[in-house]
Structure 1
Amino acid sequence: MNAKQRTILFLIADTGAGHRSAANAIRNALHLISQQEQDEWLQRSDAEAGSEEKQAPPPHYNVEIVDVFEEYSRFPLREFVKLYGPAIRYNPKLYGDVFHLSNRVGTVTAVNTMTTPLLLNGLKRLIISVQPDIIVSIHPMINHVTIRALRSLGLKIPFLTVVTDLVSVHHFWLAEGADGYILPTEEAKKLYLERGLDPKRMHVLGMPIDPKFSRPIASKEELRQKFGLTPGLPVILLVGGGDGAGGLQTAVKAISQARLPVQLLVVTGRNKRLYANLQRTRTRLHVPAQIFGFVDNMPELMHAADVLITKAGPGTICEALACNLPLILSGYVPGQEEGNVDFVVQNGVGVLALDPRTLVNELRKLIKPGSKVLQQRLENAKALSRPEASFDIARCILSYIPANQEMDPWESPQWLRRQRHLTERLRSAVRLRPLSARFPHTLLKNPATRRSTQTHDLSDISDVWETNKRK
């Protein structure tokens, strides 16, 4: 018996690193769940080797993660969303003002009216070419247009929204018409209910973080030995997010000038200039420090540390909680991350320290031998953490996929009839689908291939394929 394949399409935008990180975390959880299902099925098959009736194998999960704005939107929308990074870095107050002014139903409706024509047809082509069994959005500005695209195509495909803002849930997130809404916190649940959405479609499951944060790991002593840290000296981890923002250099300088009895692990992310500056000045610091760029072993660094200093990004906060790590927030994005600060402070797992003096004073409280403040925050973090959230979210997503193969919307008579009414450009996406079995997936993402499909001449794809074969 052949295993079925289920395709899960994640819609994201690379405005910051958080949306892709959340999608990757759920994808990794799906991979582990699939492995477990396959192992359990093999064990049952071995036990039932002599039986005439055998269970069908579990499905394989094909996960597609697509930056919708970058790959399928039109100018100027594609360029507009790229302003997010510069805005929060160089004029965060303006970004906060825009966030608050747009966080109302009327503004959301107006923005959707302007942006939908720049994205709708591209999104339709994406859906038709991938032919997913379920669609999951992990970006607020994609939700309304995806619901409209599915209705326009007449497809009954489950559509879910995974909210990745802990508290400050913008109106863009909660588009009416989704089949399910996965929320990270009770505070987000309250806003959801206030907006009059169906309670039966709501799932409060936590923030998706990489499954590595829930797996067994070496002891703190072993990890400190691995990183060459001094035994008995408190370890402070400083993280600025994927782009290395959040006042890292100021925090490092303040700790050094205070000559605190600590050692530092500093992660600068993708900020190469900050990494170079800190490496150049590291020997002049009054505290031992190790400087890292972008890392893929954050669970080890967090478990080796005693305190985390970071900006108020939701992913980093939840990763710290999963490692039972108390927080000092050194900054936040106005509007979007204001609620995250309240979440940390009100739940007693950390404080906000916007100036160097406050940061140093708060750090002194935590590194004091036998600190009761530290112990209380550790207990609060343990009670608040949800290290298995990605698995819970992955299972929730799978529960929305129809189990009966006969319910496949792409094989239904309604969809086959619907194809006759599609525009020629959308029909080209339908014709492209059978080629995916013949041509490599990387080729179908080749810019030359994409241009060929947009001009409806699929024979050009064969030319690209033959050229690549000869190379």
Structure 2
Amino acid sequence: MRKKRVLLLSEGFGSGHTQAAYALAAGLRQLDHGIQPKVIELGSFLNPILGPLIISAYRKTVSKQPKMVGLMYRSNYKKSLNRLAQLALHRMFYTHTTQVITQLKPDLIVCTHPVPNAVVSRIKRLGLDLKICTVITDYDAHGSWVNQQVNKYLVSTSLVKKKLTDRGVEADRVEITGIPVHPNFWTSYDKEEVRSQFGLKSLPTVLIMGGGWGLIEDELLEYMTKWRESVQLIFCIGNNEKVREKMMAVPQFQHPNIRVLGFTKEISKLMDAADVLVTKPGGMTCTEGMSKGIPMLFYQPIPGQEEENCEYFIQNGFGEMLDSTDVISKWFTIIQEPLAAGKYRSELLSKRNQQYEPTSCPNAVLQLMQ
């Protein structure tokens, strides 16, 4: 009997969209061995020369001109991609998308980024028989996600559902599941065992993540290192080797209580080893942090969806804005009291259990397959 096939389509504009696709694929495999998921970053897959160049240009814009990114996001906030834009995308990158779909014969297509969502919706509108599920990977709903050809939207919160229904999406086509995280984030590991595994000390520990591209503000880094005698610091810089090399060359980071890591697949364990998470408020990382019940400090949200993510997690008590060194001092002091740190963790885990069930999203996809 042929396994049921799920084709998950994403794009590399930020790491969270593709991470969500891989997380969902892993969750599907764990819950049902009869499912065969496949993840593709469509633009780079179909145009391996031009696709990465466009993503690189976007990365530079995010790091150098974040206000421009926010302006672009807000200027078309309530608008779907028009048919001309969809046609242009199809001509530039996706002339072979129909062939890929026909060859793979998926029983369901899941989109975790607005661009493949728009392109596949257009293909469906032109006559190809497809079942489309769209997973919105932030705590906001930009108009570019909206397409009438989508069979089901899986979203993070009731607010995102309302934004979709306000834009004409029928309520029964929207299900609140939360953003998918990898099964490694479904459970917690013992803190001391993880610290021993990574050669970490039994000290108050802070995990600092720069997002998939390693974007961290130097001034805040320097202030954190002043606590290095009493607080263990783990910096995860992602794929940004230039930032990692720069940090490793600075004497203040050359300390036995400081680790500077590049890309790692062990974030789930490192979150359990840590007492506080310092991070960009990307939808994926924030959801992973929430699933682990770790207090979060958010810095430099990119205007647009990261601001919305930040607002959601702060309002719901999962984190705080890192806008001064006073916030660092406050939390670095709290975690040096084991009872206080443990209390915060327990409260956040309880709150998570009320608001988020990590298996909901893959289970909703499995339901669509039936």
TM-score, with length taken from structure 2: 0.90
Q: How many residues align?
A: 369
2:142 matched residue in structure 1? 170
Q: Deviations over 1:326-357 (max 9, x none)?
A: 011122111121101101211112111134x2
User: Is 2:261 the counterpart of 1:292?
Assistant: yes
Cα gap change, 1:327 to 1:22, in 2 (>3 Å): same
The share of aligned pairs that are identical, in percent, is: 25
1:222 matched residue in structure 2? 193
Which residue identity does 1:163 align to in structure 2? I
Q: Is the 8 A contact 1:163 1:182 kept in 2?
A: yes
1:97 matched residue in structure 2? 71
The 3-state SS of whatever aligns with 1:136 is: strand
The 3-state SS of whatever aligns with 2:311 is: helix
Q: Deviations over 1:85-120 (max 9, x none)?
A: 111111111111111112132765563354344345
Cα gap change, 1:258 to 1:88, in 2 (>3 Å): same
Cα gap change, 1:284 to 1:69, in 2 (>3 Å): closer
Q: Deviations over 1:377-430 (max 9, x none)?
A: 7514541367752x322222222235xxxxxxxxxxxxxxxxxxxxxxxxxxxx
* Match of residue 320, structure 1, among 276, 284, 289: 289
2:17 matched residue in structure 1? 19
Cα gap change, 1:106 to 1:177, in 2 (>3 Å): closer
The 3-state SS of whatever aligns with 1:121 is: coil
Q: Deviations over 1:56-88 (max 9, x none)?
A: xxxx32222122212336997775454321111
The worse-fitting range, judged by mean Cα deviation, of 180-189 and 249-258 is 249-258
Q: Distance in 1 between matches of 2:4 and 2:64?
A: 43
* Match of residue 331, structure 2, among 359, 363, 386: 363
Return the offset for 1:251: 2.9
Q: Is the 8 A contact 2:239 2:262 kept in 1?
A: yes
* Match of residue 134, structure 2, among 161, 165, 169: 161
Q: Is the 8 A contact 2:16 2:285 kept in 1?
A: no
Which residue identity does 1:337 align to in structure 2? E
* Match of residue 134, structure 1, among 108, 118, 135: 108
User: Is 2:310 the counterpart of 1:337?
Assistant: no
* Match of residue 246, structure 1, among 207, 211, 216: 216
The 3-state SS of whatever aligns with 2:6 is: strand
Q: Deviations over 1:411-453 (max 9, x none)?
A: xxxxxxxxxxxxxxxxxxxxxxxxxxxxxxxxxxxxxxxxxxx
Return the offset for 1:199: 0.8
Gaps of 5+ in 2: none
Which residue identity does 1:133 align to in structure 2? D
1:205 matched residue in structure 2? 177
The 3-state SS of whatever aligns with 1:207 is: coil
Q: Is the 8 A contact 2:125 2:149 kept in 1?
A: no
Q: Is the 8 A contact 1:329 1:353 kept in 2?
A: yes
For the pair shown, the structure with the greater C-alpha radius of gyration is: 1
Q: Distance in 2 between matches of 1:371 and 1:331?
A: 30
TM-score, with length taken from structure 1: 0.72
Gaps of 5+ in 1: 36-59, 403-471
Cα gap change, 1:70 to 1:362, in 2 (>3 Å): same
Return the offset for 1:135: 0.8
1:302 matched residue in structure 2? 271
* Match of residue 121, structure 2, among 126, 140, 147: 147
Alignment of 1:322-471 (within 5 A): 322-355=291-324, 357-364=325-332, 366-367=334-335, 369=337, 375-376=343-344, 378-384=346-352, 388-389=357-358, 391-402=359-370
Return the offset for 1:185: 1.7
Q: Is the 8 A contact 1:267 1:293 kept in 2?
A: yes
Return the offset for 1:227: 2.7
Which residue identity does 2:230 align to in structure 1? P
Cα gap change, 1:378 to 1:332, in 2 (>3 Å): farther
Q: Distance in 2 between matches of 1:368 and 1:375?
A: 13
Which residue identity does 1:333 align to in structure 2? I
The worse-fitting range, judged by mean Cα deviation, of 98-107 and 309-318 is 98-107
1:10 matched residue in structure 2? 8
Q: Deviations over 1:20-63 (max 9, x none)?
A: 2111111111211234xxxxxxxxxxxxxxxxxxxxxxxx3222
Return the offset for 1:146: 1.1
Q: Deviations over 1:192-234 (max 9, x none)?
A: 22222111111111111110111453x1122222333333x31
Q: Distance in 2 between matches of 1:254 and 1:294?
A: 24
Which residue identity does 2:131 align to in structure 1? P
Kindly indicate which of the two structures has a greater share of residues assigned to helix. Answer: 1
Q: Distance in 1 between matches of 2:117 and 2:330?
A: 40
Q: Is the 8 A contact 1:349 1:377 kept in 2?
A: no
Cα gap change, 1:273 to 1:190, in 2 (>3 Å): same
The 3-state SS of whatever aligns with 2:32 is: helix
Cα gap change, 1:25 to 1:284, in 2 (>3 Å): closer
Q: Distance in 2 between matches of 1:122 and 1:382?
A: 47
User: Is 2:227 the counterpart of 1:255?
Assistant: no
Q: Is the 8 A contact 1:326 1:378 kept in 2?
A: no
